[in-house]
Amino acid sequence: MRILVLGILILGCCPTARASGATAFIVRREACFNRVYDAAHLAAHPQQKVRHIRLTAQPNGRGAITAGLNVWLRGSGVRYAAYAFCRFESGRTTCRSEFDDRVWGIRQENAKTVRIENGGIWVNPWDYDAEDRSERGTRLKTEPDDESWLLSATTCSMNPND
């Protein structure tokens, strides 16, 4: 039953991608995606910094999406976060934080997966609540193995460690 409900939520979240084959990411209700890279993947991609990434996206009522990324980096116990406003433009969904001029994207791969296209995302420590850059933050460099991340649909959790 849980899988059926998740499938209905995912199909309902992205009607443009489902109906037309477009790759834009459009949500009508909260949607969550997650990826934890296993040891084998990280060993095969030694330059990849991201070891766990989670996306939460929801419509903001103004024809755009509010997106939150949670990121855990290899070799670090710090949980990082980035929040952005995303909109559909030029055939794709682009995202930008209020304090950062870099643009990153979300692309719908299929009904169950999305790809985060890294544009050099700035992330702050998760416990930093200001809407500017923390001196403890870092930029997710786009090369060589962090150009994009493929995430799978998951249930949205209120657990801050998910």
Q: What is the pLDDT of residue 161?
A: 59
Q: What is the pLDDT of residue 8?
A: 30
In a domain, 86, yes or no: yes
Per-residue pLDDT reduced to its tens digit, 90-149:
778 999 988 888 899 999 898 899 999 999 999 999 888 767 788 889 999 988 899 999
Bridge partners (DSSP) listed for residue 24: 107
In a domain, 102, yes or no: yes
In a domain, 150, yes or no: yes
| 7 φ/ψ angles, rounded to the nearest 5 degrees | -60, -40
In a domain, 30, yes or no: yes
Owning domain of residue 138? 2-154
In a domain, 87, yes or no: yes
Per-residue pLDDT reduced to its tens digit, 30-87:
999 999 999 999 999 999 999 999 999 999 888 799 999 999 999 998 999 999 999 9
Domain count, the chain: 1
**Integer Cα distance of 64 and 61 in angstroms:** 7
In a domain, 13, yes or no: yes
In a domain, 159, yes or no: no
In a domain, 27, yes or no: yes
Contact partners, residue 31, CB within 8 Å, separation at least 6:
9, 10, 13, 14, 56, 57, 58, 153, 156
